[in-house]
Amino acid sequence: MFSTICSGALQGISAYPVSVEVNIARGLPAFYMVGSLSGEVRESRERVCVALKNAGFDLPPSHVTVNLSPADRRKEGTAFDLPIAVGILAAAEYFPQAAAADILFLGELGLDGEIKQVPGVLPIVQEAAKRGIRQCVVPADNAKEGAAIAGISVRGAAHIRQVLDFLRAPLEGREEVLPACAPECGVNPSERGAGEMLDFAQVSGQESAKRAAEIAAAGFHNLLMVGPPGAGKSMIAKRIPGILPALTPEESLQVTAVASVAGLTGGGTALVKMRPFQDPHHTISQAAMIGGGNSPRPGVISLAHRGVLFLDELPEFGREVLNSLRQPLEERHVNISRAGVNVSYPSDFMLVCAMNPCPCGYYPDRNRCRCTEVQVRKYTGKVSGPILDRIDLCAQMEAVDVASLQDGNRAESSAAILGRVLAARERQRERYAGSSCRANADVQAADMNRYCALGPKEKRCMDKLYHSMQLSARAYHRILRVARTIADLAGAEKIEEEHLMEAVYYRPSQEYRR
């Protein structure tokens, strides 16, 4: 007997349909699997056979052939266990083959028949919905994730027996056997309530740095903070997600898709609703940062998509790791190529960095700093000029004075800052309606004259700054983008000279480019 079961596979964060074809024939007992398979897919043979036996299915000795089509695309992962098992049961006539028509199956099988969660359910279900498939059967731990996609019924199963009972049941009784998961049920555990959100009111002093963080959040700009140990750089960075606008439904789907492919969803979670915050250790490898491996997986920069990537102790990161960020920072995605595989992952993140001004951290305070000028230049020189050129704002921080620590008045709260950020973002939403831009940081050089136009006075100002500061074309455009954000925060229709001067004030100092 022959059967065909619908499933799906991943390529990057995209998915494509896979037909699981099973043929059972008379002959010497054998089990063959074909279709350009990785090692873990080939191991499905053992998992499926033992799981079916332990679940009580008595399959006669026969010649079994399984083909995963299209055969010219490499299949990876353990999600094909369930569709292979269902295909074998269909070919062995345990249920009518028509019962599995128009249903997509995904899941890993335990040796006792348990259906275990798998990565990548969200993009596969999304692709299935686009292709008109009406139902999906996935692991119970992935059901709420898949149910976030509209237009398709997603059912979560915990055991292969449940799936067989579902396929054997009449159409009108299936809902009782394996009910469809309600969309958007469940809350992601990474979500934090308002009472648990880190608040800028807890940061004493450092008004200039907090202003830079506000500008960065309002325009989705990259930010660098330079100051001595204990100045509050990490405190400010960890509070930036709290002043960013909430994820839109489209952004939430994108962030969840990346997390799903990386295997970070499941366990009863639905969509990710908090903006990501990634803070890797400075010993991270290049592959872990941008993604890679023999079977390419998303890196930290993709896990930070639509959120914040925080690099503390910036000069301590490997030079190759930092330079690998140059292209993703400009193009907002990263391409990973391997033999026969080319995948693209999104990497539209806000880069927030922190560093000390010297190896000991106290330069230029010569009462505490003992570093030589050569040591200082060598330390700051670890961050290349092209990376600094991609940073929009640089906040110079001093040690917090005791008066700020002893002052009983709390600083401005994140809620107050968020109100201004949301007002600035609304102005940008109206300005960029119908374009590909979402925030001022997205404005391309070709659109500068349209969105960041300058008057005669402002043009003369930028002409002087361009020559005196020896700016690159990229730095010139970044100053205009930041000035546009400052104008939005001030509620101004046009960029004025005071906005340009504040934007220039936050440019990275030339001493870091030595």
- Per-residue confidence (pLDDT) for residue 454, from 0 to 100: 93
Neighbouring-strand partners of residue 493: none
Domain range 2-177, CATH class: alpha beta
CA–CA gap between residue 189 and residue 426 (Å, rounded): 29
Question: Which spans in 286-434 are helix H?
Answer: 286-290, 300-303, 319-323, 326-331, 373-380, 385-389, 402-406, 414-431
Query: What distance lies between CA 303 and its chain's CA centroid?
Result: 3
Beta strands in 332-460 (DSSP E): 333-338, 341-346, 350-355, 393-396
Give phi and psi for 181, each to the nearest 5.
Answer: -75, 135
Contact residues for 331 (Cβ-Cβ < 8 A; gap 6+): none
On whether the CB atoms of residues 104 and 133 are closer than 8 A, the answer is yes
- Per-residue confidence (pLDDT) for residue 188, from 0 to 100: 43
Place of tokens 């809902």: 175
Contact residues for 132 (Cβ-Cβ < 8 A; gap 6+): none
Tokens standing for 469? 């500061």
- Per-residue confidence (pLDDT) for residue 176, from 0 to 100: 86
* pLDDT in single tens digits along all 514 residues of the chain: 899 999 999 988 889 999 999 999 988 889 999 999 999 999 999 999 999 999 998 888 899 999 999 998 889 999 999 999 999 999 999 999 999 999 999 999 999 999 999 999 999 999 999 999 999 999 999 999 999 898 899 999 999 999 999 999 988 888 888 998 887 644 443 444 444 568 998 888 889 999 999 999 999 999 999 999 988 999 999 999 999 999 998 999 999 999 999 988 866 567 888 899 999 999 999 999 999 877 788 999 999 999 999 999 999 999 999 999 999 998 999 998 877 778 899 999 999 999 999 999 888 888 889 899 899 989 988 888 888 888 999 999 988 877 766 675 678 899 999 999 999 999 999 999 989 899 999 999 889 999 999 999 999 999 999 998 888 888 899 999 999 999 999 999 999 999 999 999 998 765 555 4
- Per-residue confidence (pLDDT) for residue 1, from 0 to 100: 85
> Where in the sequence of the chain do the CATH 3.30.230.10 domains occur?
2-177
CA–CA gap between residue 13 and residue 475 (Å, rounded): 33
Tokens standing for 493? 């229709």
Q: List the CATH code of the domain at 200-435.
A: 3.40.50.300
For residue 364, what are the CA distances in angstroms to 315, 370, 484? Answer: 17, 10, 33
Residue environment code for 379-401, b if the CB has 16+ CB neighbours within 10 A, otherwise e: bbebbeeebbbbbbbbbbbebbe
- Per-residue confidence (pLDDT) for residue 195, from 0 to 100: 42
> Where in the sequence of the chain do the CATH 3.40.50.300 domains occur?
200-435
Tokens standing for 317? 């990161």
- Per-residue confidence (pLDDT) for residue 112, from 0 to 100: 94
